[in-house]
Amino acid sequence: MRAVANELSDMWVLAIRSVKRIPRQPDLLVGFTVQPVMFVLLFVYVFGGAISTPGFDYEDFLIPGILVQSMAFGGFVTALGLSDDLKKGLMDRFRSLPMSRSAVLTGRTLADISTNVIQLIVMLVVGLLVGFDFKTGIGHVIAGIALLLLIGYAFSWVFAFIGLTASSPEAANAFGFTFLFPLTFVSSAFVPVASMPSWLQKFAENNPFTIMVNAVRGLFLGIPVGHDIWLATLWSVGIAVVFGALAIWRYRRVVAR
């Protein structure tokens, strides 16, 4: 019992530590709120007119997609933070203390939930301002927000893995954007999959981002999405489990040097 209490306490202490840095590094906060907002504005006012989304206003089509994308990238704060802790020797300090080993990772990813909440609020407000509208009841909207936060949490573990694998915070950033960015675009997030060349459609249809975006559309707009809500949940849990294991494996290796 005591061990479990200590484990939770360690996780909490390190999560608080990560949360405290948000207002103290305003550049970081600006990075992960302004950038998605710029995306919303660019897509709605620049590309939106040229993209045809049968059955949807473009704002309604776009916002769930861009929310999923920004949740997925919210975790890059974790990659930067872990990479920084390694470089500055803080990881050594933590590992020389009689504390839980995994708290260094679980505390970080827990803290990401709070940054994702901030991001979500900013984006929903901007979304509503540009004309997005929920078409479902409060229960569905809350479920949709919960799913988005779950997606964000899952990708925090992807970024934890990246942060422990990359040689520097800068490399971690580049790494994340090079691989994840195209993946979010070859999905239903910004354009209907049907508008892509057929060889790409196959990929886009099975891209977990497409499934996640469809699930959020289902919950926010009330369109029929089949099993996508459950599939999106499964994908998120699966990503969290697989990358959680990978991150812990990397953590053991990287700190044992």
Partner 1 sequence: MVAASHAIETEGLRKRYGAVEALRGVDLYAEKGIVLGLLGPNGAGKTTAVRILTTLIKPDSGTARVDGFDVVREPGKVRENIGLAGQYAAVDENLNGFENLEMVGRLYHLGRHAARQRADALLAEFGLEHAAKRLVRTYSGGMRRRLDLAAALVARPPILFLDEPTTGLDIRSRIALWDSIEALVESGTTVLLTTQYLDEADRLAHRIAVVDQGVVIAEGTSDELKHQVGGDRLEVSLCDGGEADAALRALAAVGVGEPAVYDHTVSVPITSGRGTIAEAVRRLDEAGVAIDDIATRRPTLDDVFLKLTGHTAAEAEEEQG
Question: Which residues bind to partner 1, rule: CB under 8 A?
Answer: 6, 9-10, 13-14, 17, 20-21, 24-25, 88-90, 92-99, 255-257
Q: Which is nearer to partner 1, 23 or 55 (CB)?
A: 23
Q: Which is nearer to partner 1, 105 or 154 (CB)?
A: 105
Q: Which is nearer to partner 1, 28 or 141 (CB)?
A: 28
* Span between the terminal Cα atoms of the chain, in Å: 32
Q: Which is nearer to partner 1, 60 or 85 (CB)?
A: 85
- How far apart are CB 90 and partner 1 at their closest, in Å? 5
Which candidate, 154, 130, 152, places its Cα nearest to that of 39?
A: 130
- How far apart are CB 100 and partner 1 at their closest, in Å? 9
> Environment class of residue 183 by beta-carbon count within 10 Å: exposed (0-12), middle (13-18) or buried (19+)?
middle
- How far apart are CB 17 and partner 1 at their closest, in Å? 6
Q: Judge whether 251 and 105 are in contact, CB under 8 Å.
A: yes
- How far apart are CB 252 and partner 1 at their closest, in Å? 11
Q: Which is nearer to partner 1, 93 or 202 (CB)?
A: 93
Which two structure tokens, joined as six digits, stand for 209? 């981002």
Which candidate, 229, 211, 227, 210, places its Cα nearest to that of 219?
A: 229
Report the half-sphere exposure of 123 (CA within 13 A, side-chain side). Answer: 30
Q: Which is nearer to partner 1, 28 or 242 (CB)?
A: 28
- How far apart are CB 250 and partner 1 at their closest, in Å? 16
Those residues whose C-beta lies under 8 Å from the C-beta of residue 181, and which sit 6 or more positions away, are none
In angstroms, the Cα distances linking 183 to 69, 186, 189 are 10, 5, 10
Distance CA 250, CA 243 (A): 10
- How far apart are CB 121 and partner 1 at their closest, in Å? 23
